[in-house]
Amino acid sequence: MAEPVLAALGGAGAHQPQLLKGWVRHWPVVQAALKSDAALADYLGPFCEPQPVTLWRAPASANGRFFYNEAFDGFNFAAEHARIAQVLEQLLAAASQPQADALYVGSSTVETVWPGFRAENDLAPAPEGALMSLWLGNRTRIAAHQDVPDNLACVAAGRRRFTLFPPEQLPNLYVGPLDFTPAGQPLSLVDMAQPDLERYPRFAQAQQAAQVFELEPGDALFIPSMWWHQVEALDSVNLLLNYWWSSTPAFMDPPVAALLLAISSIRDLPAPQRQAWSAHFQHYVFAEPQADHAHIPAQAQGLLGPLSPERTRPLRARLLQLLNR
């Protein structure tokens, strides 16, 4: 690789999607996949560990879309356990079937499933602390969702289509439940292959803001933190390897915790109180602290000053006291 990935993206604070053509084409796994699906399986075979992974299976009638069932009380796929070598065998067998089940293994840690793989297929250098995961399957569609870490998605086999939306498109994506999801992240309920604009009229605005990227084996796509992304695997055997990393200090708590707590404690207050708390959040959370709190001497700012492990530790203890009342 000619330059570190963060430098190619414009630094650690990159906040726009970026396509990196041919970025990992030199990886041995990509070279094997370019030969044939069988060559890919032969290359991966020696790395495969015997412990099972979670395999999602959806019937051919789902058209590759892993989603809720019609009653919205479950999902249209079943989860089973299989060794990764068995998954590869099933993918090769299904490739010749005109009406095959959709198969999908998602978010499995590479070091656990394929020890030694990363020594031959890795960024040089990878972002500090980056977690490398694998996503393996046939023709599948994963609805638009968002992740907190920054994401570099590297296509190793097959073609992928990514449809990205900026974070502010949330109201136009008709996102489903926060606490009942197929894989932990809330999903857009819009079927983007055939959007129902009568049922989801604001999605037309999201379409105008969408960015679509089609990746070949060896290409990589940077997906900034909190960008919505739908992922489509377009071939009978697809392998994606991605890196997740965060520049947020480890002592900070996950932002979703604040969202969930705000829902439970603020959302259903009377409107005047909600407006008052909205002003508090704007002042104490979203405004620039240097500007809003400069009138307080630095040594007396406490939590209003720069966060540190020493300042957040007693705050966490206070929160636990409040929640356990």
Antiparallel, parallel or unpaired: β 65-66 and 18-20: unpaired
Domain final residue, candidates 215, 245, 275: 245
Indicate the SS3 state at residue 216.
coil
Q: How far is Cα 217 from Cα 199, in angstroms, rounded to an integer?
A: 36
Residues 318, 232 share a domain: no
Mean pLDDT of 215-230: 97
pTM above the 0.85 mark?
yes
Q: Are 267 and 282 in contact (CB under 8 A)?
A: no
In a domain, 250, yes or no: no
Average pLDDT, the chain: 92
Domain final residue, candidates 245, 275, 300: 245
Residues 298, 204 share a domain: no
Give the residue numbers spanning the domain of 20.
5-245
Q: Are 209 and 166 in contact (CB under 8 A)?
A: yes
Q: For residue 289, what pLDDT is reported?
A: 66
Q: What is the pLDDT of residues 175-210, one digit of tens each?
A: 999 999 999 899 999 999 999 999 999 999 999 999
Exposed / middle / buried, residue 121 (Cβ in 10 Å: 0-12, 13-18, 19+) = buried
Residues 197, 317 share a domain: no
Task: Give one word for 142, left, alpha or beta, with left for phi > 0 and alpha for psi -120 to 50.
Answer: beta
Give 299's pLDDT tier (boundaries 50, 70, 90).
confident
Residues 313, 171 share a domain: no
**Could you give the number of structural domains in the chain?**
2
The string of DSSP letters for 220-267 reads: EEEE-TT-EEEEEE-SSSEEEEEEEE--S-TTSPPHHHHHHHHHHHTT
Residues 283, 222 share a domain: no
In 3D space, the residue among 220, 10, 214 whose CA is nearest the CA of residue 123 turns out to be 220
Task: Give one word for 111, left, alpha or beta, with left for phi > 0 and alpha for psi -120 to 50.
Answer: alpha
For residue 182, the domain's CATH number is 2.60.120.650
Domain final residue, candidates 189, 218, 245: 245
Residues 209, 89 share a domain: yes
Indicate the SS3 state at residue 31.
helix
